[in-house]
Amino acid sequence: MFKILDRYIIKTFFGPFFFIFSVLFFIFIVNIVWIQLGQFMGKGLSTFQILKLLFYLGVNVITMVLPLTILLASIMSFGEFGERYELAAMKAAGISLTRVMLPLFGVATVLAIMLFFFSNNVVPDFQRKAKNMLFNIAQAKPALNFTPGQFIDQIPGYMVKFDKVEGENAEKLEGVFIHRKANTFDNQQSIVAQRGEFVPATNPAFLKLLLFNGYIFEDSYAGKGENVRVKQPDQAIKFDTLTVHFDIAELINKAIEKEQITDDYRFQSYTEVNSTIATTKKDNNRLADNMSSELISQTSSVVSYMDKNKVKAPVKAQYKIDTIKSAKKLDLIFNGYNRLDNLKSSLDNKNNELNPSIKYFNKVIIYQQRILTYSFTCIIFFMIGASLGSIIRKGGMGLPVIIAIVIFIIFYVINVGFENAAWGGKINPYLAAWLPNIILFPFGVWMTYKALTDSQLFDAEKYKALLKPITKRFGKQKEHKRYQ
């Protein structure tokens, strides 16, 4: 049964918590929309489909939003307690800071556990839905997926080619060629234009293209025999402006929700990833064994060629390089150098071939461990935030927000830095996933100790006194000798 004080502390915490969570969630969603905005243009997507995609993507960012929200909310709530002298009143009533922090520590722990189950059971499913929608949207977007100078058949029933694709949304075209797909006995039609432009269509199920200065070449072959088709003259129609509509309803309606990607490790839970790790490790070991056997064989061949005296071979094949004629000696050295150079190139190629497998293996491990590590980050951020809030005694959106952002940036930089190092094989991936928490946990314990002991963490005079011996050594003397 919660006491009145516990309910008041939790109520004060959840006030800024929901506000901060909403703001951060909106910021992360806007960032995603800004990055993915190009894929929404010219797609014929309905508002409902766009909102559904944003919802799928938004669920995936909660794992980063929640720890930062706990950090900010704890700093603000305890800062308000200190600013309104409520902490002083609690201490005067005999209530320790540990007792004040206890209910919110329990709340942070519950949120951390919920985040684990959310990341383990909910996020993988939404990751699959979001990635498949993005993939299908990209496949259904002919306006931005055209490669200049190449024939593209993304538009159902047509083959197109553009010499140049320009504009912010790749809507301006030059050198347009459009051929309608048809069998031998259907009407054949091809359109050639100097330039064109994709414009928004009234019906989102159609892709609208304006063409300028071109010709329509059409052969009326439908229902006619071979002899008639041979004698059938071509028809050419010149136009200044032509509007063409491409029906992409089938492409959009059938492809947007279709799940074509199912074997991504990010679609798996913590226990399911174990099988992926075991399979990947087995494949990597097999690849490494094959590479090592091949390289050892090549190295042995080079060594045998360079020094045949150390190889058990027939007597006639054994010789010393000093006994060979000068011309033959130069050829032997040159051939040996070429073999060594080829061996070095083989080593580099094998290394480049092995690196992607190592990177993928480390990515899988880091993804699995992040399901756990972000939950512990919530507790560590609460320890840091509650301690800082009780020390600085400032509420609101000013100083607490700045401090929280600085701490989160430090955590993010450490997180990304160790992650990149693990991808390159420079550090163990398990250690890379946990190192940010390992680094911040002692800082959180130290901050909690400072808060419990009422330490003046931001007392400038204390730090000046600590640095006084150093400044005194390098500072100038203020006293001057009297003149004799």
182 Cβ contact partners less than 8 Å away, ≥ 6 residues apart: 188, 189
Condensed to tens digits (0 to 9), the pLDDT of residues 149-192 reads 888 776 777 888 888 888 777 778 889 988 887 766 667 788 89
258 Cβ contact partners less than 8 Å away, ≥ 6 residues apart: 132, 136
Does the structure show a pLDDT above 90 at 364?
A: no
**Complete edge-to-edge strand list for the sheet that includes strand 188-199:** 158-166, 172-180, 188-199, 206-219, 235-247
- Tokens standing for residue 342: 């080829």
Q: Taking every pair of C-alpha atoms in the chain, what is the biggest distance, in angstroms?
A: 129
SS (HEC) of 31-45: HHHHHHHHHHCCCCC
The CA distance from 161 to 153, in Å, is: 9
pLDDT of residue 473: 66
pLDDT of residue 421: 87
266 touches 367 (CB < 8 A): yes
Does the structure show a pLDDT above 60 at 253?
A: no
Confidence tier at 109 by pLDDT (50, 70, 90): very high
The CA distance from 92 to 90, in Å, is: 5
pLDDT of residue 143: 43
SS (HEC) of 269-336: CHHHHHHHHHHHHHHHHHHHHHHHHHHHHHHHHHHHHHCHHHCCCCHHHCCCHHHCCHHHHHHHHHHH
The CA distance from 389 to 82, in Å, is: 8
Condensed to tens digits (0 to 9), the pLDDT of residues 263-292 reads 677 777 888 888 888 888 787 777 777 766
The CA distance from 297 to 281, in Å, is: 24
Confidence tier at 8 by pLDDT (50, 70, 90): confident
For the ranges 45-59, 85-99, 318-332, 407-421, which has the lowest average pLDDT? Answer: 318-332
pLDDT of residue 44: 58
Does the structure show a pLDDT above 70 at 123?
A: yes
- Tokens standing for residue 101: 């922090």
pLDDT of residue 6: 82
| Distance linking the first and last C-alpha atoms of the chain | 83
Domain ranges of the chain: 4-139+368-460, 158-247, 268-365
Long-range CB contacts (within 8 A, 24+) of 452-457: 452/96, 452/97, 452/98, 455/391, 456/391, 457/391, 457/392
152 DSSP assignment:
B
Instruction: Kindly write down the DSSP assignment for every residue of 226-284, as one continuous string.
Output: HHHHHHPPPEEEEEEEEEEEEE-HHHHHHHTT-------GGGS-HHHHHHHHHHHHHHH
- Tokens standing for residue 124: 């993988």
- Tokens standing for residue 407: 């701490």
Long-range CB contacts (within 8 A, 24+) of 334-343: 335/305, 336/302, 336/305, 336/306, 339/301, 339/302, 339/305, 339/306, 340/302, 342/298, 343/295, 343/298, 343/299, 343/302
Confidence tier at 311 by pLDDT (50, 70, 90): very low
Condensed to tens digits (0 to 9), the pLDDT of residues 24-54 reads 888 888 777 776 665 565 555 667 777 887 7
pLDDT of residue 355: 72
> What's the whole-number mean pLDDT along residues 62-88?
86
95 touches 4 (CB < 8 A): no
